[in-house]
Amino acid sequence: MGIGYKLFHPEIFQGRLSKRKYFEGWYYKMVSADEMKAIAIIPGIALFNKKERHAFIQVFNGIDHTTSYHRFDINEFSANKRELDITIGNNHFSKKGVKLDLPEIQGEISFSNMILPQASMLSPGVMGWFSYVPFMQCRHGVVSMHHDLVGQTSGSFGLTDWKDGIGYIEKDWGASFPKCWIWMHSNHFDVQKPASIMASVAHIPWMGRFFPGFIVVLVIEGVEYRFATYNQSVMKCLVFDDLVLLEFKHHDLHLLITAYRGETATLHMPVQGQMTGKMSESLRARLEIRLLKNDHEIWSSNGTTAGLDIYGDTSVLESSAWRK
């Protein structure tokens, strides 16, 4: 299997277990139909040197704001070379569902009706043509913007029926997370049709300098709207104690996002292949979204049970004027 296959299938395992200072992780967000249960399960690997290398599964309970980090021998990790199919110990992760055998949660959750981000030769993933750049510090992929859940789990997390719940999957891989970033996601909106948004603004090292890169994917009733550094969109960004204001423009489209912070929990994050960093994330944030075309509103809604990260000194990302 060549590099080209991996490039056009960012969801599969991109690395090699022989690498050093490398991490790769998948982010499975699952919310029950009544939104009373919300979890993020994060399987991955951390490869620093011959001694410090392991597989892991993080569990984030978004309702009571607790997390746990389960460490596994690297030999307990295996990955299919052709599709997303990851095994860590007795736990299994794919595009079809998850099988969990952890102290706080056991059982199976199946996925269906996935809504995938658009891809093309010029834009094989949500990173656009940056997917072809070989020296990026961290790469990002979206596996599923929105899918249906069914199944049951038990354990200290509680007996949960996931029928009619909604899920989301993304992933990251590389050496380290960025110096600072803002990330948000929701697929629970006060509208009947499926809708989902992922927005990310981050410090991107580039040839000895940096730029504030951004990717926004909004899907409404099967139609995708994308705002990104690589498609000549422009951005405004302001961060306050209790909220974040983001605006994006691409041709005749104008997207406005107000993200209200929720209570957070602490997760491990990679630093040069070691999971020694700490970050705060919420699964109880709230988003207000407005989409305009030619200055006329064509869609608006409020997103609940939203994921929200605000990490580092975000002042380098902020601007009250339009910028690329």
Mean pLDDT of 174-195: 93
- Single pTM value for the model: 0.97
pLDDT of 207 > 80? The answer is no
In this predicted model, what pLDDT tens digit does every residue of 1-32 receive, in sequence order? 556 899 999 999 999 999 999 999 999 999 99
- Band of residue 295 on the pLDDT scale cut at 50, 70, 90: very high
Kindly calculate the radius of gyration of the chain based on its CA atoms and give it in whole angstroms: 19
DSSP codes of every residue in 163-178: TTEEEEEEEEEES---
Mean pLDDT of 63-90: 97
| pLDDT (0 to 100) of residue 318 | 97
- Please report, as a single letter, which amino acid is at residue 108: E
Average pLDDT taken over every residue of the chain: 95
Structural domain harbouring 16? 3-323
Which secondary structure element, helix H or strand E, spans residue 6, and what is its range?
helix 3-7
Q: Rounded to the nearest 5°, which phi and psi values hold at 246?
A: -125, 140
In this predicted model, what pLDDT tens digit does every residue of 139-166 receive, in sequence order? 999 999 999 999 999 999 999 999 999 9
| pLDDT (0 to 100) of residue 141 | 96
Strand partners, 15: none
- Tally of structural domains, the chain: 1
Least confident of 157-161, 168-172, 189-193: 189-193
Give 221's Cβ-side CA count (13 Å radius).
7
Which among 205, 165, 158, 197 has a CA at the least distance from the CA of 181?
205
Report the greatest alpha carbon distance in the chain.
Answer: 58
- Band of residue 134 on the pLDDT scale cut at 50, 70, 90: confident
pLDDT of 250 > 80? The answer is yes
Q: Which residues of 192-222 are buried (b: 16+ CB within 10 A; e: fewer)?
A: eebbbbbbbbbbbeeeeebebbbbbbbbbee
Q: Are 106 and 156 in contact (CB under 8 A)?
A: no
| pLDDT (0 to 100) of residue 50 | 86
Mean pLDDT of 109-130: 94
